[in-house]
Structure 1
Amino acid sequence: MSLSRRQLLRVGTAGSAALLVGTSAVGSSRFRAPRMSGDPFTLGVASGDPTPDGVVLWTRLAPDPFAPDGAGGMGMAPVTVEYEVAEDERFARVVRRGAAVATRELAHSVHPEVDGLAPDRWYYYRFRAGSAISPVGRTRTAPAYDSHPDRLRFVFASCQAWSDGYYTGYEHIAAEDIDLVVHLGDYIYEDAVSGRRTGRAVESHLRPEARDLAGYRLRYALSKVEQPLQRAHALFPWLVTMDDHEVDDNWAAGSSGIDIDIDILPVVFRARRAAAFRAMYEHQPLRLAQRPSGTHVHLHRRYHYGDLADITMLDTRQYRTRQSSLNGDITTERENRTAADRTILGGAQRDWLVDGFARSRARWQIIGNQVPLGQTDHDPGPATAVSTDAWDGYVADRDALLGAATDRDVRNLVVITGDRHENYASDLRRDYADPDSPVVGSEFTGTSLTSGGDGVDIYDHGRRLLDANPDLRFFNAQRGYVRVEVDQHLWRNDFRVVPYVERPGAPVHTRATYIVQDGIPGVVEAWRPDRPADPDRAPQPETDELAGASDSSR
Structure 2
Amino acid sequence: MSGVVSAGRRRFLTAGAAAVGAAASGQLLMAGTARAAQTPLPAGVFSLGVASGDPLPDGVVLWTRLAPDPLHGGGMPDRAVVVEWQISDDPRFRRKVRSGYAWARPEFGHSVHADVRGLLPERHYWYRFRTSGQISPVGRTRTAPRQFAYGNHLRVALASCQNWQHGYFTPYADMRAQDPDLVVFVGDYIYESTPASTGVRRHEGSGEPYSLVQYRNRYAQYRSDPHLKAMHAAAPFVVTFDDHEIDNDFAGDIPQDPDKQTPEAFAARLAAGYQAYYEHMPVRAAAIPDGPHIRMHRRLDFGLLVRLNVLDTRQFRSDQATTQAGAQDPAMTMLGAAQKQWLLSSLRGSQARWNLIASQIMMAETDLKIGDGKLWYYDSWDGYQVERNALLAEFANVRNPVVLSGDRHLTMISDLKRDFADPGSAVVGSEFVGTSISSGGDQDAVAFHNEWDARMGDNPHWKVIDNHRGYHLFDIRRTGIDAQVRIADTVTRPTSASRTLAKLHVESGKPGVRKV
Quote the residue 1:213 is aligned against.
212
Return the match for 1:472 from 462, 465, 468.
462
Spell out, residue by residue over 1:333-358, the C-alpha distance to the aligned partner (whole angstroms, 9 max, x if none): 32211111110000111111111112
Contact 2:41 2:132 in 1 (8 A): no
Classify 1:61/1:119 alpha carbon distance in 2 versus 1 (closer, same or farther; 3 Å): same
Quote the residue 1:354 is aligned against.
344
Quote the residue 1:55 is aligned against.
60
Q: What SS class does the counterpart of residue 327 from structure 2 fall into?
A: coil
Shift of 1:447: 0.6
| 1:325-474 paired onto structure 2 within 5 Å | 325=322, 333-406=323-396, 409-457=397-445, 458-474=448-464
Shift of 1:19: 8.3
Quote the residue 1:533 is aligned against.
none
Q: How many residues align?
A: 497
| Aligned residue identity for 1:46 | A
Contact 2:20 2:115 in 1 (8 A): no
Quote the residue 2:7 is aligned against.
none
| 1:511-550 paired onto structure 2 within 5 Å | 511-526=501-516
Spell out, residue by residue over 1:15-62, the C-alpha distance to the aligned partner (whole angstroms, 9 max, x if none): 995489976744442251643332100000000000000001100000
1:323 partnered with 2:325: no
Q: What SS class does the counterpart of residue 395 from structure 2 fall into?
A: helix
Spell out, residue by residue over 1:99-153, the C-alpha distance to the aligned partner (whole angstroms, 9 max, x if none): 1111110110010100011000011110011100000111110000110110110
Spell out, residue by residue over 1:251-280, the C-alpha distance to the aligned partner (whole angstroms, 9 max, x if none): 0001001x36531x1111000001000000
| 1:227-306 paired onto structure 2 within 5 Å | 227-257=226-256, 259=257, 261-263=259-261, 265-306=262-303
Contact 1:159 1:448 in 2 (8 A): yes
| 1:484-503 paired onto structure 2 within 5 Å | 484-503=474-493
Quote the residue 2:105 is aligned against.
103
Spell out, residue by residue over 1:58-115, the C-alpha distance to the aligned partner (whole angstroms, 9 max, x if none): 0000001011xx2x00111110011011111111221111111111101100101000
Quote the residue 2:500 is aligned against.
510
| Aligned residue identity for 1:94 | K
| Aligned residue identity for 2:264 | V
Stretches of 4+ aligned residues off by more than 6 angstroms: 13-16, 19-24
Classify 1:395/1:198 alpha carbon distance in 2 versus 1 (closer, same or farther; 3 Å): closer
Across the aligned residues of Structure 1 and Structure 2, the Cα RMSD in angstroms comes to 1.9
CA distance in 1, matches of 2:248, 2:16: 38
CA distance in 1, matches of 2:203, 2:419: 49
TM-score by length of 1: 0.87
Quote the residue 2:5 is aligned against.
none
| Aligned residue identity for 2:168 | Y
CA distance in 2, matches of 1:511, 1:36: 48
CA distance in 1, matches of 2:16, 2:479: 48
Q: What SS class does the counterpart of residue 216 from structure 1 fall into?
A: helix
Q: What SS class does the counterpart of residue 505 from structure 1 fall into?
A: coil
Q: What SS class does the counterpart of residue 174 from structure 1 fall into?
A: helix
Classify 1:25/1:403 alpha carbon distance in 2 versus 1 (closer, same or farther; 3 Å): farther
Contact 1:250 1:389 in 2 (8 A): yes
TM-score by length of 2: 0.93
Contact 1:14 1:24 in 2 (8 A): no
CA distance in 1, matches of 2:326, 2:220: 40
| 1:145-164 paired onto structure 2 within 5 Å | 145-164=147-166
Quote the residue 1:44 is aligned against.
49
Contact 1:22 1:110 in 2 (8 A): no
CA distance in 1, matches of 2:491, 2:75: 31
Shift of 1:303: 1.2
| Aligned residue identity for 2:163 | A
| Aligned residue identity for 1:293 | D
Q: What SS class does the counterpart of residue 522 from structure 1 fall into?
A: coil
Q: What SS class does the counterpart of residue 192 from structure 1 fall into?
A: coil
Q: Which moved more, 1:75-84 or 1:26-35?
A: 26-35
CA distance in 2, matches of 1:524, 1:84: 44
Contact 1:18 1:26 in 2 (8 A): no
Spell out, residue by residue over 1:413-460, the C-alpha distance to the aligned partner (whole angstroms, 9 max, x if none): 110110000001101000112222111000010111011111343433
Classify 1:438/1:298 alpha carbon distance in 2 versus 1 (closer, same or farther; 3 Å): same
Q: Which moved more, 1:494-503 or 1:14-23?
A: 14-23
CA distance in 1, matches of 2:146, 2:169: 34
| 1:166-185 paired onto structure 2 within 5 Å | 166-185=168-187
Shift of 1:195: 4.0
CA distance in 1, matches of 2:331, 2:258: 26
| Aligned residue identity for 1:223 | Y
Identity %: 44
Q: What SS class does the counterpart of residue 278 from structure 2 fall into?
A: helix
| Aligned residue identity for 1:427 | D
Q: Which consecutive residues of structure 1, in runs of 5 or more, have no partner in the other structure?
A: 1-12, 326-332, 527-554
Q: Which consecutive residues of structure 2, in runs of 5 or more, have no partner in the other structure?
A: 1-13
Contact 1:60 1:283 in 2 (8 A): yes
1:32 partnered with 2:36: yes
CA distance in 2, matches of 1:198, 1:357: 42
CA distance in 2, matches of 1:141, 1:427: 31
Quote the residue 2:69 is aligned against.
64
CA distance in 1, matches of 2:101, 2:387: 44
Shift of 1:198: 5.2
CA distance in 2, matches of 1:277, 1:490: 37
CA distance in 2, matches of 1:52, 1:284: 20
Q: Which moved more, 1:52-61 or 1:186-195?
A: 186-195
| Aligned residue identity for 2:171 | G
| Aligned residue identity for 2:430 | S
CA distance in 1, matches of 2:180, 2:21: 34
Classify 1:268/1:95 alpha carbon distance in 2 versus 1 (closer, same or farther; 3 Å): same
Spell out, residue by residue over 1:278-335, the C-alpha distance to the aligned partner (whole angstroms, 9 max, x if none): 000000101001111111111111111111111111000000000012xxxxxxx322
| Aligned residue identity for 1:309 | V
Contact 1:22 1:109 in 2 (8 A): no
Quote the residue 1:310 is aligned against.
307
| Aligned residue identity for 2:271 | A
